[in-house]
Structure 1
């Protein structure tokens, strides 16, 4: 893949009840040059699904306009040991 295509990667998540169907789709996807990763589906969303959804809704960018200023406000300055 060229660098331009890597910058525009897309993700597709599929859930299968039938392993044979999953393997058939995997074969087709790999023949198209797709990276395929499989795992057992759980009843809970993965942390990646949650972060993707959060990112698509704007993440922290909607709440924190200036990250540097925010960090200064949040940081609690204290004296360091053995420093004057």
Structure 2
């Protein structure tokens, strides 16, 4: 889990950033939605060939090392875990 600023740089602890996720289990993309795939699955600025998923969530690391969810960067609403 990474918190990145608008320039795709790591946000300092305590500073809000967009939440990105990546790794071996990351999906290839959205089925039959190439534009959305290109928007949400972006190249990692840290490793050639790797990708990250833009969650649209805003959060930060707390001083205790926990993730704090702050909100969304769009108007999407989550109800009972579904968007």
Bin the TM-score by the shorter chain. Answer: under 0.3
For normalisation by structure 1, the TM-score amounts to 0.21
| Greater percentage in helix | 1
For normalisation by structure 2, the TM-score amounts to 0.21
Bigger Rg over Cα: 1
RCO greater where, 1 or 2, for CA within 8 Å and sep 6 or more? 2
